């Protein structure tokens, strides 16, 4: 479980194939603190630490994860949003994030305003019921508040701190992003569906 509050932006040092999977070596400031088997959210995808040293750590993504997320597109030098798993007793900022990507969306627009940026993301119209204005959504591992919802699109506003301390500032129109919808909204919708 995560919060969607990015701890640091890491860099892909190496990405190699292994029996249909992909193994990533990621440079990160907290690498020396990691333990084998620990979970780390990489651009919103929960992955298990398989190797670590003072400068970097290694994770492995299976083929199904590569197909359902943007991880299969990672290459050496790419910046990635990183967050370690929530610990009991931690302050709960952001919202509950599982690290299970629901959909790969596409950046439709990035607009700079006075004091913030607006990011509009294209999504599958069938998932519109999972978005609530002023509710939460996770984009590439970042907990954000939904500013508006239209068929096949939602928008979020990005404050300068988030813009500067995540990899969002490197996103361009047309690029894919990992989307995880709010766990609470998904649970409510599932309950409503089962009643029908």
| Topology of domain 103-189, CATH | Elongation Factor Tu (Ef-tu); domain 3 (2.40.30)
pTM: 0.92
CATH of 8-84, one of 3.40.50.300, 3.40.50.620, 1.10.150.20, 2.40.30.20: 2.40.30.20
Residue limits of CATH 2.40.30.20 in the chain: 8-84, 103-189
pLDDT in tens, the chain (196 residues): 899 999 999 999 999 999 999 999 999 999 999 999 999 999 999 999 999 999 999 999 999 999 999 999 999 999 999 999 988 777 777 788 999 999 999 999 999 999 999 999 999 999 999 999 999 999 999 999 999 999 999 999 999 999 999 999 999 999 999 999 998 877 777 766 766 6
Contacts of 60 (CB under 8 A, 6+ apart): 18, 21, 22, 23, 24, 47, 48, 50
């Amino acid at each position: 479980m995560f919060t969607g509050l990015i701890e640091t932006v890491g860099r892909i040092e190496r990405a190699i194939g292994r029996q249909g999977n992909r193994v990533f070596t990621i440079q990160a400031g907290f690498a020396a603190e990691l333990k084998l088997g620990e979970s780390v959210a990489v651009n919103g995808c929960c992955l298990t630490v398989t190797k670590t040293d003072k400068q970097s750590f290694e994770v492995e993504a299976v083929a199904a994860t590569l197909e359902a997320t943007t991880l299969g597109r990672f290459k050496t030098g790419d910046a990635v949003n990183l967050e370690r798993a929530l610990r009991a007793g931690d302050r709960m900022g952001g919202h509950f994030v599982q690290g299970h990507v629901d959909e790969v969306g596409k950046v439709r627009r990035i607009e700079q305003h006075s004091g913030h940026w607006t990011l509009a993301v294209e999504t599958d119209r069938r998932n519109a019921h999972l978005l609530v204005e002023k509710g939460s959504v996770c984009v590439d591992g970042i907990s954000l508040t939904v500013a508006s919802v239209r068929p096949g699109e939602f928008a979020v506003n990005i404050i300068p701190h988030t813009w500067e301390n995540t990899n969002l500032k490197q996103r361009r129109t047309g690029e894919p992003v990992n989307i995880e919808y709010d766990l609470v909204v998904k649970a409510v919708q599932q309950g409503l569906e089962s009643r029908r």
